[in-house]
Amino acid sequence: MRKIIVLLGAPGSGKGTQAVFIKEMGFKHISTGEILREEVKKGTELGKRVKSIMEKGELVSDDIINELMFNVVRENSGGLLFDGYPRNITQAESFDEFLKGENLKVDYVIYLDVSEDICKKRLSGRFFCPECKKDYNIYFSPPKNDRLCDNCGKELIQRDDDKENVVEERLKVYFEKTYPLIEYYEKKKVLYRVNGEKDVIEIKEDIEKILKNGSIKEG
Ligand SMILES: [Zn+2]
């Protein structure tokens, strides 16, 4: 039976890492950002519209995102893992309605539960060496000397996306728009909470158990 998974979690919850593991379990990884970039590259009518929206720095509308994701479901016959979709209640409702028409449904919503404080530290703590590219996190894997690379002594730098004000904005948008999906899917009895603060391999094993038994408990 064809299964559809939605991976939910705040920025910094470790979705990217777990998506790779779930992909290895045989699900096709559908990343919203990647689908948008591909559509632009293909130069379709929709792709051209997306390109002009993104060039203006505007947000791609729910209707366009829905249309692209529905196409993904139509064009793929195997299990799918959605990462970054749905992003809000409106998208989730449209997705459910569409899937119903295809005799499908969202089977599992895997929610990586990580406190806001940890997410913030994982993202805003990221620094790297401009010389040897070594990665650090000033909270979890700091250099020996304040903000200096252990290998070459260069001063560490930070990507703009990881700066504290940007991270705070990303988390704010997530809690306003995406977080309500947890309650939405809980009511539909397809939500599975996974403690996302554990070791990555333990999280992977918890997800495997859910997909195999429908619960984290051995079964
Ligand atoms: Zn270095």
For 144-185, what is each residue's pLDDT tens digit?
998 999 999 999 999 998 999 999 999 999 999 999 999 999
Q: Letter for the amino acid at 101?
A: G
Count of structural domains within the chain = 1
On the question of a cis peptide bond just before residue 86, with omega within 30 degrees of 0, the verdict is: yes
Question: Is residue 182 domain-resident?
Answer: yes
Distance 137 CA to ligand 1 centre (A): 14
Question: Is residue 40 domain-resident?
Answer: yes
Distance 216 CA to ligand 1 centre (A): 41
Q: Provide CB contacts within 8 A for 87, sequence distance 6+.
A: 32, 65, 177, 178
pLDDT for residue 217 is more than 90: no
Question: Is residue 51 domain-resident?
Answer: yes
pLDDT band for position 219 (cuts 50, 70, 90): very low
Give CA–CA dist 134/125, Å, rounded.
Answer: 14
> What pLDDT digit, counting tens, does each position of 70-112 carry?
999 999 999 999 999 999 999 999 999 999 999 999 999 999 9
Question: Is residue 150 domain-resident?
Answer: no
Question: Is residue 161 domain-resident?
Answer: no
Q: Letter for the amino acid at 208?
A: E
Burial call 16-54: b when 16+ CB within 10 Å, e when fewer: eebbebbeeeebebbbbeebbeebbeeeeebbeebbebe
pLDDT for residue 45 is more than 70: yes
Domain containing residue 88: 4-114+173-213
- Return the SS3 of 127: strand
Q: What angle do CA 29, 35, 40 make, to 5 degrees?
A: 160
Summary mean pLDDT of the chain:
94
Catalytic residue set: 15, 87, 126, 159, 170
What's the CATH code of the domain at 85? 3.40.50.300
Question: Is residue 26 domain-resident?
Answer: yes
Calculate mean pLDDT across residues 177-204. 97
Question: Is residue 103 domain-resident?
Answer: yes
